[in-house]
Structure 1
Amino acid sequence: MADLQGSQSIYEGARRRGTRRDEFVRRLKEQRYRLAGAALLFAALAGAGAMSPPIAFFAFLGLSALLMGEEAQEVKTAASPAELGQRHALPPNGRLGALVVEHLPDPVVLLDKSSRILYANRAAHDLMGHVPAGRPVASALRAPALLSAIQKVQEEGGTLSIDYEMPVPVERHFRAMISELGPETGGELSKELNGLPEASLLIMLHDLTDMRRVEQMRVDFVANASHELKTPLASLSGFIETIQGHAKDDPEAQARFLGIMSEQAARMQRLIEDLLSLSRIEMREHVPPSGEVDLAALTGDVTDGLGPLAASHGVEINVDVKEGVEPVRGEWDELHQVVQNLTENALKYGRSGKRIDITIAPALNQAGRKMTELAIRDYGPGIPREHIPRLTERFYRVDVAKSRERGGTGLGLAIVKHIVNRHSGTLTIDSHVGEGSTFTVRLPVRAQTRA
């Protein structure tokens, strides 16, 4: 009521001072900001448990309709109908609530007492397909858990919240809130929504799919990280017990076991370093880099460092820098890690081809923006096509035993993906079994200065 009295006081003050109509309308429209405050207040009350979500929702709609309807009535006294229609068209009383419901991002469905659909907003139609009014809800929302909850609320009343899953056509997870509407609330809401018959039940759905996927990724990550650390730790513990026991007086066995323990400790160190690196990159992924990097010089630095390892496996690394290559916007250390990881992978898994080709060339993206392209190709056994979409997932390996044998942590390509994302670039993978693999990174060139 304070907001409504405020509207009246503004109007009276404007008339007394002879304020121009346009100024009056401008000040009156500022009242809308109070709606935003009201929305936040009702959301806070619902979140704190002081008010149930459906009551908070309808309270906000009611306040919106009253306040905007009052404004519309007052504006009519300050401006002619022509002026109002041309310059300050406002929703008539009661229509604002309908517009809000219709454009909510979450599906909203109203049912009558026999569980037939009276109304579904746009989001609900997107979920269920176009469902005409009067159809049973069971024909549109085919989820047994949801239908059982609807029946329970129809029979017992009250409010019920459940989580349920829709396995087809793709797996999705939802939280449904089903609330009984009393005759007064149901009747008022039906009137606002184009004069529908009296509503008995309100269903509001919230899509939890993304949240569940993130949670599952977190669980998988913790499980994988724990497993990757547990294996070398168990190996170390076993060899320590052996050295302290049966091999206590056997120098040759001790030397062999110590060598294995050193390898396992190095494996744990690589894993921890990659985990820390991935964590740092993810924390800064939203911050664009501001430096400038010469990819040709950086690639030369990487190949110089990996030269002895390549020579030990009889692998030749060739670098071809095309004409017109420009520096890219980026951070040296992170891009060094990208080239290092991709080249090391080529050495680990494509060494049988005895050759690695690295090409750096100018390119354009689909929008015509200048890019620099880095392609690293090996001539090894290649990767089966079904594995390619998952290669950048954490801890995903095509061959787990071979990866561990060659010192892989399963995080290298995940690190590459996040660094490339931070640099507004792209990573593509092309591979054919028996022919080798090509990993291509495209990065935007530095900002061009105008003459």
Structure 2
Amino acid sequence: MLIESLRAQRATFMWVCGTAVIVLGSLYLLGEVQLLPALIGIGAFVAVVVGRSVITHYLGREELPDTLKHSGELTNKEFRSVLVKAMTEPCIFVNPEGRVEVANEAARQNFRFRGEMPILSSVVRRPEMLGAVEDALSEKEPQDFAFVERGEYDRTYACVAAPVKTNSGLGVLITMEDLTAVKRAELARADFLANASHELRTPLTSLAGFIETMRGPAKDDREAWDHFLEIMEGQAERMRRLINDLLSLSRIELSEHRRPSTNADLAAVVSEVGAALLPVADGQQVKINITGQANGIEVMGVRDELAQVAQNLIDNAIKYSEPDDVVEVEVLTGLSQDEALEKAGRRMDGAAQFSITNSLGGAATKYAVLRVRDNGPGMDRKYLPRLSERFYRIDPGRGLKKGTGLGLAIVKHIMNRHRGAFLVESELGVGTAFGVLFPLSHEDKELSDLDQLLEERAFRKNVPKEATGS
């Protein structure tokens, strides 16, 4: 390696040349060598030392001479740039002048900045980071710090600001580790334990009571046994559904901040779910009427999660329908944002309307809509904001229906992950309609994350056309 070899040999050359000068000078003083040959020898060795020093001087600078650039070696600055850009997590190098010398794409998206060599304080508004950089420079020791990026989805970062010596002074390398998934896992685990212990207490108490009765007073009453076993089977089924829904909700919450990167056919999913729920509808003498395309509506989404949304909404509509009622299921596509919102949840005159969640992106995006309407008892306006709360029941009558109280909460979190919207409208004595919006997959293929889309739009809005080349 050229650079390493020259640097390693500098000390050796200087030592050899110094020894040669001393030897030649001593021989001249002793009369063993004539003056001219001694001067020529000393001059030659000095020239070698000076030449090597000049080369080494250039090697220590940020830029090498052209003759050395063609050797394939990287300069210090180039090496830092390659290293920072190779990091998958956000990473920034701040030069001794306090400017962002290089930042990888993850850091640029996170702090939403463009351009080259901006002042760090003009890009980052986090006092924790700015303070850590100052401490790293003053104490010359790595500084650990953390911060939470507030937004629609809070993101937690654990960071290190480490001083790095350069030829022009002391810089700082900032590395950030995204701990959002870890924090969400901790919260999900705590919520799971709290909710599971609360909701499972009732069926477990019921099962324990029946077992005690069957072992005691009803020990020989076979008729009572049959009745008790039927009730116990229902309680066990309730616990099974509850555990499945809690696990499903926990999984979705863990990945809620990551937008899906795959495509799925929404129309085909709805058709399959409708066919699978026909036996349930027939059991309650309810009809399911699906209108719209049977397939070919591609949205950016996870197929299993789309099926979960459709199943929860259609099953919920069947549950609150009366015999001979019809559950209307509509699948629409190619709608603008305003059209999609209108079709999803603004169609019942006099109905109370509420947006449970809305994570939609730009108005230019096209959307697909799934709308499910029943002709059940409907709900009063005051209950709508709480529909997606876990285990929430409007009244004892609705609470007697089969279910865990988690279905709409699951739908809400799935729609947040898919950067869609979830709306409801309801009128007492008329019925209830739930609508969800999914961005079509052919929109914004290169901008697979909503944050990146928002960043691009803000950049184009604030930067003059001449600067963007448009």
**Residue 244 of structure 1 corresponds to which residue in structure 2?**
215
> Which amino acid in the other structure matches residue 266 of structure 1?
E
Give the Å deviation of 1:275: 6.7
Q: Is the 8 A contact 2:196 2:243 kept in 1?
A: no
- 1:142 paired with 2:127, answer yes
Give the Å deviation of 1:263: 2.0
Q: Is the 8 A contact 2:393 2:405 kept in 1?
A: no
1:389-443 deviation line (CA, Å, top 9, x unaligned): x57xxxx343288576322134545776899999x99774322464643234678
Give the Å deviation of 1:360: 3.7
Q: Is the 8 A contact 1:431 1:438 kept in 2?
A: yes
Distance 2:438 2:152 in 1: 36
Q: Is the 8 A contact 2:281 2:287 kept in 1?
A: no
The match for 2:289 among 294, 316, 319 is: 319
**Residue 217 of structure 1 corresponds to which residue in structure 2?**
188
In structure 2, the residue corresponding to 1:398 is in which secondary structure? coil
Give the Å deviation of 1:232: 2.4
**Residue 174 of structure 1 corresponds to which residue in structure 2?**
157
Distance 2:251 2:98 in 1: 51
The match for 1:375 among 351, 372, 376 is: 372
- 1:405 paired with 2:400, answer yes
Give the Å deviation of 1:175: 1.4
- 1:307 paired with 2:288, answer no
Distance 1:360 1:205 in 2: 45
- Taking the TM superposition and a 5 Å limit, the aligned residue runs for 1:339-354 are 339-348=310-319, 350-351=320-321
> Which amino acid in the other structure matches residue 327 of structure 1?
N
In structure 1, the residue corresponding to 2:403 is in which secondary structure? coil
Length-normalised TM-score, structure 1 = 0.51
Give the Å deviation of 1:387: 3.7
Identify if the C-alpha distance between structure 1 residues 405 and 208 changes in structure 2 by more than 3 Å, giving closer, same or farther.
same
Identify if the C-alpha distance between structure 1 residues 425 and 107 changes in structure 2 by more than 3 Å, giving closer, same or farther.
closer
- 1:119 paired with 2:99, answer yes
1:40-74 deviation line (CA, Å, top 9, x unaligned): xxxxxxxxxxxxxxxxxxxxxxxxx99x9679645
Q: Is the 8 A contact 2:157 2:180 kept in 1?
A: yes
Give the Å deviation of 1:204: 3.9
In structure 2, the residue corresponding to 1:118 is in which secondary structure? coil
1:247-270 deviation line (CA, Å, top 9, x unaligned): 547778766644432321121233
Q: Is the 8 A contact 1:107 1:206 kept in 2?
A: no
Identify if the C-alpha distance between structure 1 residues 305 and 71 changes in structure 2 by more than 3 Å, giving closer, same or farther.
farther
Distance 1:354 1:208 in 2: 51
**Residue 47 of structure 1 corresponds to which residue in structure 2?**
none
1:330-357 deviation line (CA, Å, top 9, x unaligned): 9999988765532321233x44899444
Q: Is the 8 A contact 1:382 1:437 kept in 2?
A: no
> Which amino acid in the other structure matches residue 376 of structure 1?
R
> Which amino acid in the other structure matches residue 237 of structure 1?
A
Identify if the C-alpha distance between structure 1 residues 344 and 168 changes in structure 2 by more than 3 Å, giving closer, same or farther.
closer
Identical aligned residues as a percent = 27
In structure 1, the residue corresponding to 2:99 is in which secondary structure? strand
**Residue 328 of structure 2 corresponds to which residue in structure 1?**
358
1:248-297 deviation line (CA, Å, top 9, x unaligned): 477787666444323211212334565788899999x8776699949669
Give the Å deviation of 1:177: 1.4
Distance 1:100 1:406 in 2: 60
**Residue 425 of structure 2 corresponds to which residue in structure 1?**
431
1:109-159 deviation line (CA, Å, top 9, x unaligned): 7597xxxx823466489749999869799x95434x995x77876776533
- 1:106 paired with 2:90, answer yes
Distance 1:134 1:347 in 2: 57
Identify if the C-alpha distance between structure 1 residues 99 and 228 changes in structure 2 by more than 3 Å, giving closer, same or farther.
same
In structure 2, the residue corresponding to 1:199 is in which secondary structure? strand
- 1:263 paired with 2:262, answer no
Length-normalised TM-score, structure 2 = 0.49
Q: Is the 8 A contact 1:236 1:261 kept in 2?
A: yes
Q: Point out where structure 2 has 5 or more consecutive residues left out of the alignment.
A: 6-58, 337-363, 443-470
| Alignment: residue pair count | 340
Cα RMSD after superposing both structures: 6.1
Q: Point out where structure 1 has 5 or more consecutive residues left out of the alignment.
A: 6-64, 78-89, 192-197
Higher RCO (CA-CA < 8 Å; seq separation 6+): 2
Q: Is the 8 A contact 1:180 1:201 kept in 2?
A: yes
- Taking the TM superposition and a 5 Å limit, the aligned residue runs for 1:284-299 are 293=268, 299=274
Q: Is the 8 A contact 1:318 1:357 kept in 2?
A: yes
Identify if the C-alpha distance between structure 1 residues 91 and 229 changes in structure 2 by more than 3 Å, giving closer, same or farther.
farther
Specify the structure having the higher radius of gyration (Cα): 2
> Which amino acid in the other structure matches residue 381 of structure 1?
M
Q: Is the 8 A contact 1:110 1:201 kept in 2?
A: yes
Distance 1:444 1:347 in 2: 27
Distance 1:132 1:444 in 2: 35
